[in-house]
Structure 1
Amino acid sequence: MPEIPIPDSQPQPLISGELRTALETYAALPRVVVATDFDGVLAPLVDDPRDSRPLPGTMDSLMALAGTEGTTVALVSGRALGSLTEVSGAQAPLLLYGSHGAESTNSGAGMALTEEQGQDLFGLNASLAEAVAAHPGARLEHKPMATAVHTRGLDPLVALAASQAAVGAAAAYGQVEVMHGKDVVEFLVAKATKGAALMALAEATNADAVLFLGDDVTDETVFARLRPTDIGIKVGPGDTAAAYRVDDPTAAAAVLALLAGLRG
């Protein structure tokens, strides 16, 4: 009788040996920036963004890192700053960047709308509200410089129709930038990217290296700009420019806990 292979019962590590080695090298540097997206990284994705909360221990790890010498810690999210503050519960010295970096608790960071952009946003909001009204369940999120159409939890065909209707409505505003994410389409009247915000922070702090964890399409604006000494970690599936990957927010929490221990 042929031998029957015995399945490997050993659990797979949350952090690969290659990533662990990179984290050890990074942790030894004098000045670093540790930055992370919120939804899908610190917190599992949920249908209603208002219900999102960080996994236990994640904020503790970030606060511990922020308390170590030479470490700047930031949350960089597409959420409006007020929403990010509320759901994360983050406090100083953590820096918060909302609306893809257009808003920030970091003095001197952020952007302001021109009068023309403000008028565009006012008209855009009315057009998007009318466009999605025919698609029950689609939700608008208003931000200081953008409006997002959320479709998470909807039937895929309804979600597609709502997104297409929103894109069509926004086409009347030639200066509006459209950004597609996971179950969300965002319409920006002022260009802001997580990558630009994070690289400006790295320059301002004279950081030797940046570490960033992200899960969404908008996080690629960071991964694409990272230097050889930096560490980009994609959380979950999907194409990415990040050099490393972990499976889910639980693994992301393990990365932060390990880094806090190494840095401490």
Structure 2
Amino acid sequence: MQFSSTEGEHRYADLVRVAPHTVVGLDFDGTLAPIVDDPTRAHIHPDASEVLVDLAGEIAAIAVITGRPARQALDLGGLEDVGDAIAAVGKELFVFGQYGNERWTSTHRRIVAPRPPRGLATFERELPRVLRRAGLSEAYVEDKGLAIAVHTRRLDDPDQAFRDLLEPLKELAARHELVVEPGRSVIEVRSAGSHKGMVVERIAEETAAQGFLFAGDDLGDIEAFDAVDDLAGRGLATLRVCSASNEESALMSLSDVVVRGPEGVLDLLRRLTADARSARVA
């Protein structure tokens, strides 16, 4: 674990002091689950369930905030079982899917979601033509129900394919009043109804949080980092954690702490659990 500055160390110490009233927010891919070529095989780190349940005993709540559909995150992460264990210690696990458009909690165990956005079906019908024009028909297209994701990771040159597709997909999305969310070798198109920053604001208000930690790994987490920064301006103890990789570095300059992938995130959460427990019994 590497603090970005002395201020980052102070922020962590402040968070430990208010741990019983702190929410820990976590992205899924690249933060709890290693990045893999096939997104349907992105299972949660094998140690994550135990770490999250142990952490829940020392804080107010845990929120998994992901661009994935909530059902995918629940299944790939075994999060329904994790939610049961967290509920057993009197705490709450939230799962926000598709950038907050879907919501599941360990108390109300039903996914609440809106209808798909207008224009998405037409966008999907027109998408193959855009891919053919770019010579990238082999890009993997994922229908997420409320969004369409175009993955370039499996292509021969993922980074160049990403650059070649970004502007054409932005133009197509704009014609259908949709927004583009670039990620790590993926371009997602969805409605403008929600983003991770709005989820951070919402959950902090719902829980009357005095502290908030958010850990993420790529461009889709920037708005969450911005929201955490806003919470700090209102007097909350906060910590922004970058799960760093060789592929994406956009969050590093915005972070208070930089760790290495899901293993580093879990090490940080173990340390937070131990320090919060020591502070509580001191």
TM-score with structure 2 setting the length: 0.78
Task: Answer yes or no: is the 8 Å Cα contact 1:15–1:251 preserved in 2.
Answer: no
Unaligned runs of 5+ in 1: 1-13
Partner of 1:261: 274
Pairwise CA RMSD of aligned residues?
2.5
1:189-244 Cα deviation digits (max 9, x unpaired): 24211110121011000000100001111111011122332111112133543333
Give the partner amino acid of 1:73: I
Alpha-carbon contact 2:128-2:137 (below 8 Å) kept: no
Corresponding residue of 1:97: 96
Aligned ranges for residues 153-164 of structure 1 at < 5 Å?
Answer: 153-154=154-155, 155=157, 156-164=159-167
1:66 to 56, 74, 93: 56
Q: Point out where structure 2 has 5 or more consecutive residues left out of the alignment.
A: 87-92, 278-282
Deviation at 1:80, TM superposition (A): 0.9
| Contact 1:121–1:146 (Cα < 8 Å) also in 2 | yes
Q: Which residue of 1 aligns with 2:193?
A: 191
Partner of 2:89: none
Correspondences of 1:171-250 after superposition (within 5 Å)? 171-173=174-176, 175-226=177-228, 227-228=231-232, 229-236=237-244, 237-239=249-251, 240-250=253-263
- The equivalences for 1:117-136 within 5 A come to 118-132=117-131, 135-136=136-137
Shift of 1:22: 3.7
SS of equivalent to 1:224? helix
Aligned to 2:68, what secondary structure does the other structure show?
Answer: coil
Taking the aligned partners of 1:196 and 1:95, their CA distance within structure 2 comes to 14
CA distance in 1, matches of 2:117, 2:225: 30
Native 8 Å contact 1:233 1:243 kept in 2? yes
Which residue identity lines up with residue 128 of structure 1 in the other structure? L
Call closer, same or farther: CA 1:27–1:110 in 2, change over 3 Å: farther
Distance between the aligned counterparts of 1:262 and 1:211, measured in 2? 15
Amino acid at match of 2:29: D
CA distance in 1, matches of 2:170, 2:112: 26
Change beyond 3 A, Cα 1:263–1:213: same
Contact 2:139–2:154 (Cα < 8 Å) also in 1: no
Deviation at 1:136, TM superposition (A): 4.0
Percent of aligned pairs with the same residue?
26
Residue of structure 2 equivalent to 1:169:
172
Opposite residue 250 of structure 2, the aligned amino acid is: G
Query: d(CA) in 1 for partners of 2:124 and 2:223?
Result: 25
1:153 Cα deviation (Å)?
3.1
Amino acid corresponding to residue 246 of structure 1 in structure 2 = V
Aligned to 2:46: 56
Counterpart amino acid of residue 99 in structure 1 = Q
Measure how far apart 1:82 and its partner are.
1.3
Which residue of 2 is the match for residue 7 of structure 1? Answer: none
- Mark the CA change 1:216 to 1:110 in structure 2 (over 3 Å): closer, same or farther: farther
2:144 — aligned with what?
143
Determine if contact 2:200/2:227 at 8 Å carries over to the other structure.
Answer: no
Q: By how many angstroms is 1:164 displaced?
A: 4.4
For residue 121 of structure 2, what is the amino acid of its counterpart? F
| Contact 1:149–1:166 (CA under 8 A) maintained in structure 2 | no
